[in-house]
Amino acid sequence: MAAALRARRSSSELDITIIEQSRHLAIATCSIPAYLEDRIDDIDRLQQLTSDDLGDKYGVNVMLLHRVLEVHAVKHQLSVENITTGQSFDLPFDRLIIATGASPVYPAWASRGTEGIFTLRNLEDAYRLKQFLLLKHPKQFVIVGTGTIAQVCAEGLQASGAQIVMIGQCQGLMEDLDEAISSRISTVLTTNDISLYYTDNEPSIHVSLENEIESVRFPERTISCGGILLAMGINPNTNFCKSAGIVTNEFGAIRVDRHLMTSRQGIFSCGDCAMTYHHLTHKPFYWPLATTAARQGRQAGESAVSGNGIDHGSLGMRFWTCFNLQIGRVGLSPKQAEDLSIKYRRVAIRSASKPRLYGGSEMDLVVLSDPGSGRLLGAQIAGFDGVHARLNALAVAIEGKLILSDLERLDLAYTPKYSSLWDPLQIAGRVGDKLK
> How far apart are the C-alpha atoms of 100 and 319, rounded to whole Å?
24
Say if pTM beats, i.e. exceeds, 0.85.
yes
Average pLDDT of span 343-356: 95
How far is it, in rounded angstroms, from Cα 346 to Cα 190? Answer: 27
Q: What is the DSSP string of 249-279?
A: -TTSPBP--TT-B-SSTTEEE-GGGB-EEBT
Does 106 have pLDDT greater than 90? yes
**DSSP 8-state secondary structure symbol assigned to residue 180:** H
Reduced to 3 states, what is the DSSP secondary structure of residue 134? Answer: helix
When pLDDT is averaged across residues 46-70 and rounded to a whole number, the result is 87
pLDDT one-digit tens code per residue, 355-370: 999 999 999 999 999 9
CA distance 85 to 90: 15
89, containing H or E segment: strand 88-92
* Residue 140 pLDDT greater than 80, yes or no: yes
User: Per-residue pLDDT tens for 264-311?
Assistant: 999 999 999 999 999 999 999 999 999 999 999 999 999 999 999 999
Please tell me whether residue 91 adopts helix, strand or coil conformation.
strand
Cα distances from 199 to residues 109, 172, 203, 335, in angstroms, run 15, 10, 9, 21
CB contact at 8 A, 8 and 302: no
List % helix, strand, coil for the chain (3-state, nearest 5): 30, 30, 40
Q: Is the pLDDT of residue 102 over 70?
A: yes
Find the mean pLDDT for residues 221-239: 95
Higher-scoring residue by pLDDT: 392, 39: 392
In which order are the strands placed within the sheet that holds 204-207?
204-207, 213-218, 221-224
State the DSSP code for 30. Answer: G
What is d(CA 423, CA 410) in angstroms, rounded to the nearest whole number?
10
Report in angstroms the alpha-carbon separations of 243 from 75, 182, 274. Answer: 13, 41, 17
Q: Identify the pLDDT of residue 364.
A: 97
Q: What is the mean pLDDT of residues 7-21?
A: 93
Contacts of 1 (CB under 8 A, 6+ apart): 18, 25, 26, 48, 49, 54, 297
H or E element in which residue 17 lies = strand 17-20
338's CB contacts (< 8 A; 6+ apart) are none
* Residue 318 and residue 21 in contact, taking contact as beta carbons nearer than 8 Å: no
Contact 435, 368 (CB under 8 A): no
Question: 204 near 223, Cβ under 8 Å?
Answer: no
Q: Of 177, 226, 170, which Cα lies nearest the Cα of 201? A: 170
The pLDDT value recorded for residue 392 is 97
Mean pLDDT of 19-27: 88
On whether the CB atoms of residues 346 and 426 are closer than 8 A, the answer is no
How large a percentage of the chain has pLDDT more than 90? 81
Across the strands, what pairs with 311?
none
Residue 173's pLDDT band (cuts 50, 70, 90): confident
**Mean pLDDT throughout 408-424?**
94
Asked if residue 436 has pLDDT above 70, the reply is no
d(C-alpha 18, C-alpha 324), whole Å: 39
The pLDDT tens digits for 370-398 are: 999 999 999 999 999 999 999 999 999 99
Longest dimension (CA), the chain: 70
- CA 280 to mean position of chain CA atoms: 20
Domains, the chain, in order of start with CATH, read 2-103+234-306 (3.50.50.60), 106-230 (3.50.50.60), 324-434 (3.30.390.30)
Mean pLDDT rounded to a whole number for the chain:
93
Banded model confidence at residue 28, pLDDT cuts 50, 70, 90: confident
State how far the Cα of 425 lies from the Cα of 409, in Å rounded to an integer. Answer: 10
